[in-house]
Amino acid sequence: MSKKLEFEQTISLYNDKPSCVSHLECSITGKNDYEAGKIHGLSEAGRPLLVRYNLDTIKNNVTREEIEARPGGFWKYREFLPVENGENVISLGEVMTPLIPLKHSVPNGCDIIVKDEGRLPTGSFKARGLGVAAAMSKELGQTHLAIPTNGNAGAALAAYASFGGLKATAFCPDDTPLVNIREIRLQGADVFTVNGLVSDCIKIVQEGNDKVGWTDYTTLKEPYRIEGKKTMGLELAEQFGWELPDVIFYPTGGGTGFIGMWKAFDELESVGWIGSKRPKMVAVQAANCAPIVKAYEDGVEHATFWENAYTEAWGIRVPAAIGDFLMIRTIRESGGFAIAVDEEDIFKCRDKVSRKDGLLLCPEGATTFAAWQMALKSGQVSSSDKVLLFNTATGLKYPMPETNQPLDKNQPIDYSRFK
């Protein structure tokens, strides 16, 4: 099937789409008079807004079987998404990302599955969130989007904004991997490198809100990225036959995916497609940037700013997250936990899974493997648990260890070397 046909099939799903959003709601106060179809940023309380749906409308319009029969990736969950008009859908050939069992890098009998999000457009799961958010900007008439980013979010926004005819401006820490900075530029966005952390980039974007008049695409400051990220939960449920794994390990930065999946599970239960069983949700962070782990261990609702954050798992180098309390709530409600992984361990695990199972994880994905190993050792998970690890981007986008074995074609070759 040609890409064009796939694209047209995706768009045509939206031809007769029922309108399912009822309103938006403040995630901290529950104030729920934020109207659908209007431009919103944060709530009046300065916290993320969550999109609420008429779950009866969803229930009456679509079945699990119909969803399963639809082609393509995350756009097929149209009833659970806020975009109304097919003209606004931006599709770059999304796929349902595969579930890959680990065979040789885990002890016998362990049931460990990786959901490989590196297969999405721009090579990371940021495509889900920013694809849906950019489509909503199109629908709402927002034309210039500004994003603070550790790399992957900027790349995804650049691609989806370009395809959708929107302008995007990205700000990254100046030690973001070059491949990310360059792909952002190549995919049509303006990109600046800032001598600071993503938290400094966030401030720059915020100050520009009035001065430039762009839309602030900081994580959770617009309400639709989380709706896109939510599709990870919908997809998982479908792939697991409308049951969920026992434990999910997720590399947590701003937390949209973590919060989004939890929201998806609630919506699926409300329409009667899954039962009340939930996975334990495990938030994984790097030891040198672990504000959520610290807040969880301290038993508090909000995290404090993590000073001198450093990790080469760039996607989770987030020293402060506006949705911290939502992540912590999710961990607690699910009976899960939070866990920090040493830098060295991240790369040891990346090497192990690549060499033994042929799956090149991104460093963020490798943190989930490292965390699972720690949790197995400490007894927080058991070897009979069905465990899902998220590989949130393709490992190809990250620096890799050097390898250097030149072979001189003009000298006799000693073939015994290759045995």
Ligand X SMILES: *Cc1c(COP(=O)(O)O)cnc(C)c1O
Shorter beta-carbon distance to ligand X: residue 66 or 333: 333
Q: Are 53 and 267 in contact (CB under 8 A)?
A: yes
Determine which residue in the list 10, 97, 142, 152 makes contact with ligand X, applying CB under 6 A.
152
> Applying CB under 6 A, does 364 fall inside the site for ligand X?
yes
Q: CB 116: neighbour CB atoms within 10 A?
A: 24
Shorter beta-carbon distance to ligand X: residue 373 or 392: 392
Range 291-295 contact pairs with CB under 8 angstroms and sequence separation of 24 or more: 291/318, 291/319, 291/320, 291/321, 291/324, 292/252, 292/255, 292/321, 292/324, 292/327, 292/328, 292/338, 293/338, 293/339, 293/340, 295/324, 295/328
- Sign of the CA dihedral running 252, 257, 263, 264: negative
132 phi/psi in degrees, rounded to 5: -70, -40
Smallest gap from Cβ 283 to ligand X, in A, equals: 8
What is the rounded distance in angstroms from the CA atom of residue 193 to the CA atom of residue 90?
27
Smallest gap from Cβ 152 to ligand X, in A, equals: 3
Smallest gap from Cβ 219 to ligand X, in A, equals: 6
> Applying CB under 6 A, does 220 fall inside the site for ligand X?
no
> Applying CB under 6 A, does 251 fall inside the site for ligand X?
yes
| Candidate segments 100-108, 233-241, 252-260, 410-418, binder of ligand X by CB under 6 A | 252-260
Shorter beta-carbon distance to ligand X: residue 84 or 345: 345
Determine which residue in the list 154, 315, 336, 395 makes contact with ligand X, applying CB under 6 A.
315
> Applying CB under 6 A, does 368 fall inside the site for ligand X?
no
Strands (E), 6-117: 21-26, 34-35, 49-53, 99-101, 111-116
Residue type, position 68, single letter? E
Smallest gap from Cβ 146 to ligand X, in A, equals: 17
Instruction: Find where tokens 């400051």 sit.
Output: 221
Determine which residue in the list 73, 121, 254, 291 makes contact with ligand X, applying CB under 6 A.
254
| Candidate segments 66-74, 231-239, 249-257, 295-303, binder of ligand X by CB under 6 A | 249-257
Residue type, position 155, single letter? A
Shorter beta-carbon distance to ligand X: residue 136 or 316: 316
Site for ligand X in 85-144 (CB under 6 A): 124, 126
> Applying CB under 6 A, does 319 fall inside the site for ligand X?
no
Shorter beta-carbon distance to ligand X: residue 148 or 251: 251
> Applying CB under 6 A, does 230 fall inside the site for ligand X?
no
Q: Are 286 and 341 in contact (CB under 8 A)?
A: yes
24 phi/psi in degrees, rounded to 5: -115, 155
> Applying CB under 6 A, does 253 fall inside the site for ligand X?
yes
> Applying CB under 6 A, does 359 fall inside the site for ligand X?
no
Shorter beta-carbon distance to ligand X: residue 135 or 318: 318
Size of site (CB under 6 A) for ligand X:
20
Given its phi and psi angles, is residue 68 left (phi above 0), alpha (psi -120 to 50 degrees) or beta? Answer: alpha
> Applying CB under 6 A, does 393 fall inside the site for ligand X?
yes
Given its phi and psi angles, is residue 46 left (phi above 0), alpha (psi -120 to 50 degrees) or beta? Answer: left
Interface contacts to ligand X, rule CB under 6 A: 124, 126, 152-153, 219, 229, 251-258, 315-316, 362, 364, 392-393
